Structure 1
Amino acid sequence: MLRRSLLGALSVVLVTSAATGVAHAGPSDAAAAVTFSDTFDGAAGSAVNSSKWTLETGDNVNNHERQYYTSGTNNAALDGQGHLVITAKKENPANYQCWYGTCQYTSARLNTSGKFSAQYGHVEARMKIPRGQGMWPAFWMLGTDIGSVGWPNSGEIDVMENVGFEPSTVHGTIHGPGYSGSAGVGAGYSLPGGQAFADAFHTFAVDWAPNSIKWSVDGVVYQTRTPADVSGKTWAFNKPFFLILNLAVGGYWPGDPNSSTAFPAQLVVDSVSVTTSDTPAPTGGAIRGLAGKCVDVAAANPANGTPVQLYDCNGTAAQQWTVGSDGTIRALGKCLDVNSGGTADGTPVQLYDCNGTAAQKWTVSSARDIVNPQANKCLDVTGNNSANGTRLQIWTCSGGANQKWTVG
Structure 2
Amino acid sequence: MDSPRTSRRLLLSLASLLAFASLSTGLAQGASPDASSSAKTPTAVTVTQAQAQAAAAAVTFSDEFDGPAGAAVDGGKWLIETGDNVNNHERQYYTAGNRNAALDGQGHLVITARRENPGNYQCWYGRCEYTSARLNTSGRFTTTYGRVEARMKVPRGQGMWPAFWMLGNDIGQVGWPNSGEIDVMENVGFEPSTVHGTLHGPGYSGSGGIGAGYTLPGGQAFADAFHTFAVDWSPNAITWSVDGTVYQRRTPADLGGRQWVFDKPFFLILNLAVGGYWPGDPDGSTAFPQQLLVDYVRVTTDTGQPGGGGPITGLAGKCVDVAGANSANGTPVQLYDCNGTAAQRWTVGADGTIRALGKCLDVASGGTADGTPVQLYDCNGTAAQQWAVPAARDIVNPQANKCLDVAGNNSANGTRLQIWTCTGAANQKWTVTR
Q: Tell me the TM-score range normalised by the shorter chain.
A: 0.5 to 0.7
- The residue that corresponds to 2:264 in the other structure is 239
Mapped to 1, the partners of 2:342 and 2:15 lie a distance apart of: 44
- Cα 1:234–1:80 change in 2 (3 A) is same
How many angstroms apart in 2 are the aligned matches of 1:325 and 1:108?
52
Secondary structure of 2:98's counterpart equals coil
Contact 2:246 2:391 in 1 (8 A): no
1:121 aligns with 2:146: yes
Are residues 1:60 and 2:82 paired? Answer: no
> Hey, what does 2:113 align to over in structure 1?
88
Contact 2:154 2:291 in 1 (8 A): yes
Tell me by how many angstroms 1:276 deviates: 2.7
2:279 to 247, 254, 257: 254
How big is the shift at 1:4?
4.5
Q: Judging changes above 3 Å, is the alpha-carbon distance between structure 1 residues 199 and 66 closer, same or farther for their aligned structure 2 residues?
A: same
1:97 maps onto 2:122 in alignment: yes
CA–CA separation in structure 1 for the residues paired with 2:305 and 2:255:
22
Asked whether the 8 Å contact 2:117–2:130 carries over to 1, the reply is yes
Give the structure 1 partner of residue 10 of structure 2.
Answer: 7
**Aligned-partner Cα distance in 2 for 1:236–1:261:** 38
**1:267-346 paired onto structure 2 within 5 Å:** 267-277=292-302, 326=344
Quote how far apart the aligned CAs of 1:133 are: 0.3
Equivalent runs, 1:159-170 vs 2, <5 Å: 159-170=184-195
TM-score, with length taken from structure 1? 0.65
* Aligned sequence identity (%): 73
1:182-233 Cα distance to aligned partner (Å, 9 max, x none): 1000000000000000000000000000010000000011000000111111
Aligned to 2:62: 37
What per-residue deviation string (whole Å, max 9, x for no partner) do you get for residues 9-32 of structure 1? 4674469xxxxxxxxxxxxxxx99
2:6–2:278 CA contact under 8 A, matched in 1? no
1:79 aligned partner: 104
Contact 1:120–1:277 under 8 Å retained in 2 = no
The one-letter amino acid of 1:238's match is D
Q: Which residue of 2 is the match for residue 357 of structure 1?
A: none
3-state secondary structure, aligned to 1:147? helix
Per the TM alignment, residue 6 of structure 1 is displaced from its structure 2 partner at its CA by 4.6
Q: Does 1:108 align with 2:133?
A: yes
Q: How does 1:129-208 map to 2 (within 5 A)?
A: 129-208=154-233
Distance in 1, Cα, partners of 2:258 & 2:303:
26
Between the aligned partners of 1:105 and 1:13, the Cα distance in structure 2 is: 23
Matches of 1:211 and 1:168, distance apart in 2: 30
> C-alpha displacement at 1:7, in angstroms?
3.0
The residue identity in structure 1 corresponding to 2:8 is S
C-alpha distance 241-367 of structure 1, shift in aligned 2 (>3 A): closer
Pairing 1:49–2:52 present = no
Residues 130, 227 of structure 1: alpha-carbon distance in 2 compared, 3 angstrom cutoff: same
Change (3 A) 1:263 1:329: same
State the Cα distance separating 1:72 from its structure 2 match: 1.2
- The residue identity in structure 1 corresponding to 2:202 is P
Cα distance per residue 1:114-152 (max 9 Å; x no partner): 000000000000000000000000000000000000000
Q: Which has the larger radius of gyration?
A: 2
Q: Secondary structure at the match of 2:173?
A: helix
**2: CA distance between counterparts of 1:266 and 1:47?**
16
Letter in 1 for 2:248: Q
Determine the structure 2 residue equivalent to 1:219. Answer: 244
The Cα offsets for residues 48-89 of structure 1, whole Å up to 9 and x where unpaired, read as 000000110000001000000001111000000000000000
CA contact (8 A) 1:118 1:276 kept: no
Q: Residue 77 of structure 1 contacts residue 86 of structure 1 at CA under 8 Å; is this kept in 2?
A: yes
Number of residue pairs aligned between Structure 1 and Structure 2: 289
Q: Retained in 1: the 8 A contact 2:168–2:264?
A: yes
**Cα distance change, pair 329–49 in 1 and its aligned pair in 2 (3 A):** same
Who is 1:23 aligned against? none
Q: Tell me the distance in 2 between the aligned counterparts of 1:157 and 1:11.
A: 23
2-structure distance, mates of 1:405, 1:326: 13
Unaligned 5+ runs, structure 2: 20-55, 311-340, 349-388, 395-429
TM-score, with length taken from structure 2: 0.62
TM-superposed CA distance for 1:365, in Å, is 12
Determine if contact 1:68/1:103 at 8 Å carries over to the other structure. yes
Change (3 A) 1:324 1:76: farther
* CA–CA distance in structure 2, aligned partners of residues 175 and 206 of structure 1: 15
Shift in CA distance, 34/6, structure 1 to aligned 2, threshold 3 Å: farther
